[in-house]
Each structure stands twice: as C-alpha cells, then as structure tokens.
C-alpha cells in the first residue's frame, strides 16, 4: 500500500534522511522507533506530502507522492495523520473538528457528516463530549478526537507521530487502547512511538531508525526481544 524507496531528504546541507526504503502492506501495523532527531517525523511527513524529498520515490498504491502536484490533496485524504500535539481547531467543538474533513475536503452534506462524526466519536469513547471545545477536554480526549477526525476521512492508512508523547502518563492507556482497536479492525498504520509495549503487542513490524537510516527492521517480536544490531540493543536498553 505504501512503498518508500531510497528516500533522501536534506534541510540545507544537512542530509537527515539518507536512503530509507520500506513497504507497508494493507492492514499492516509498522512501528518506527529510534532516538530523537533520527528522522522519524520527517519520513512520516514525506509519506503524507508535508515535506518534499530530493531523491527516491514514495508510492501510495502506485501513485507517487509529490507535494508540488495537485494530486497531493487526494493523497492526504487517503493517508491521514495524527500528530503529537493533536492540532485541533480550538474554536470548534469536538464534533465540528471531526466534521471538518468530510465537509470541506470530501464535500459531504453537513447532516451526513455530523452523523458520521458522531459515530466516530462514539467509537473512540467520546459520545458524551461531542459539543465540548478542545480546551475543556483532557489531552487524552483531545487525541481521541484527533483519531476520530483521521478516521472520518475514511483513509486507507493512518500515520501517527508520537501520539501519546504529549500526554500525562495516566491518559496514555486510553489513546493506545483506541489505536489498538483501530489496528484490530484492519487499518493500515505507521506509528512512531516510544511505547514499546504497544509496539510489541500491536505492530507486525518494527523499524529502528538512527541517523536517517534504518539500522534494523523485522517482526516486532524479533527486533524488540532479540535485536541483532548493537545500536538497536543500546537504544532499547535506554528506553525499556
């Protein structure tokens, strides 16, 4: 579904992605782990067309991701993104935040979008918070609204960039629970996370990134329990 082929990306003279390749099959959950600054957010942003890249190809079901082409709007609809800091519209209620994409991007009638948004808010356990403003929701609730918003675009895949890193520890579990449910329902997911328990239990595959390259990748159980590379071993020792 997602094919990343030999991507190179520089900011000025600094090459931060130095030849990354991987594929994500439909329904697969791939977790990306690695130290801060290793390029995890950058590669997600490239897949979603939020960043340009200088070399290589990213294909979504065969369509090349080109941030400068008009096809990029359709790509962003097919591959939605959940950010560390939720990025909700502060002056819109939970349900209005979720309706936004269906109404303005997909051109859905408001009544139908409202119905759809309500069903997704129910799904993430916020059926009773539809008319709340983001400021009146906890970080965990805001992130679940953001996940409902991503789902409401009826995407083929969802990219998550450290979705629980900004949350108080006691709120992390609810968000991971919703992500697990979305995964079990067959969504294709790429998840940048430091939650090794989630990676071990939910991911099909784990990629370990460092210095803009994939140092090691494989089935989640193997990479996390029995890493082959020294750099993976020392990273896991620090985070586990």
Query: Which of 38, 41, 80, 141 touches Mg ion by CB under 5 A?
Result: 41
- Tell whether residue 42 is a contact of ligand ADP (CB under 6 A): yes
Q: Which is nearer to ligand ADP, 72 or 213 (CB)?
A: 213
- Tell whether residue 143 is a contact of Mg ion (CB under 5 A): no
Q: Which of residues 6-35 bind ligand ADP (CB under 6 A)?
A: 11, 16, 34
Query: Which of 28, 30, 33, 38 touches ligand ADP by CB under 6 A?
Result: 38
- Tell whether residue 163 is a contact of ligand ADP (CB under 6 A): no
From the list ligand ADP, Mg ion, none, partner contacted by residue 127 (C-beta under 5 to 8 A by kind) = none
- Tell whether residue 36 is a contact of ligand ADP (CB under 6 A): yes
Long-range contacts of 128-137 (CB under 8 A, 24+ apart): 129/94, 130/93, 130/94, 130/95, 131/93, 131/94, 131/95, 132/93, 132/94, 133/90, 133/91, 133/92, 133/93, 133/94, 134/86, 134/88, 134/89, 134/90, 134/94, 134/97, 135/90, 137/94
Q: Which is nearer to ligand ADP, 16 or 108 (CB)?
A: 16
- Tell whether residue 37 is a contact of ligand ADP (CB under 6 A): yes
Q: Which of residues 142-161 bind ligand ADP (CB under 6 A)?
A: none
Q: Which is nearer to Mg ion, 41 or 188 (CB)?
A: 41
Q: Which of residues 57-86 bind ligand ADP (CB under 6 A)?
A: none
How many residues lie near ligand ADP (CB under 6 A)? 10
- Tell whether residue 193 is a contact of Mg ion (CB under 5 A): no
CB of 30 to ligand ADP, least distance (A): 15
Q: Which is nearer to Mg ion, 41 or 164 (CB)?
A: 41
CB of 153 to ligand ADP, least distance (A): 23
From the list ligand ADP, Mg ion, none, partner contacted by residue 11 (C-beta under 5 to 8 A by kind) = ligand ADP
The residues that touch ligand ADP, with contacts defined as CB under 6 A, are 11, 16, 34, 36-42
């Amino acid at each position: 579904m997602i094919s990343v082929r030999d991507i190179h990306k520089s900011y000025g003279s600094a090459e931060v992605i130095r030849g990354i390749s991987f594929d994500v099959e439909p329904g697969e959950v791939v977790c990306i782990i690695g130290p801060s600054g290793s390029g995890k957010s950058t590669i997600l942003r490239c897949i979603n067309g939020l960043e340009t890249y200088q070399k290589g190809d990213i294909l979504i079901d065969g369509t090349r991701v080109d941030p400068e082409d008009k096809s990029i709007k359709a790509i962003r609809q097919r591959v939605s993104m959940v950010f560390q800091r939720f990025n909700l519209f502060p002056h819109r209620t939970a349900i209005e935040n979720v309706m936004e994409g269906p109404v303005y991007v997909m051109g859905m009638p408001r009544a139908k979008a409202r119905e759809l948004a309500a069903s997704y808010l129910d799904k993430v356990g916020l059926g009773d918070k539809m008319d709340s403003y983001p400021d009146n929701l906890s970080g965990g609730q805001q992130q679940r609204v953001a996940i409902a918003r991503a789902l409401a675009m009826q995407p083929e895949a969802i990219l998550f960039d450290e979705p629980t890193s900004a949350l108080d520890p006691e709120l992390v579990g609810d968000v991971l629970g919703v992500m697990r449910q979305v995964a079990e329902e067959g969504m294709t997911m790429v998840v940048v996370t430091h939650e090794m328990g989630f990676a071990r239990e939910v991911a099909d595959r784990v990629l370990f990134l460092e210095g803009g390259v994939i140092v090691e990748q494989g089935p989640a159980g193997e990479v996390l329990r029995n890493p082959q590379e020294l750099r993976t071993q020392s990273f896991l020792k620090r985070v586990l």
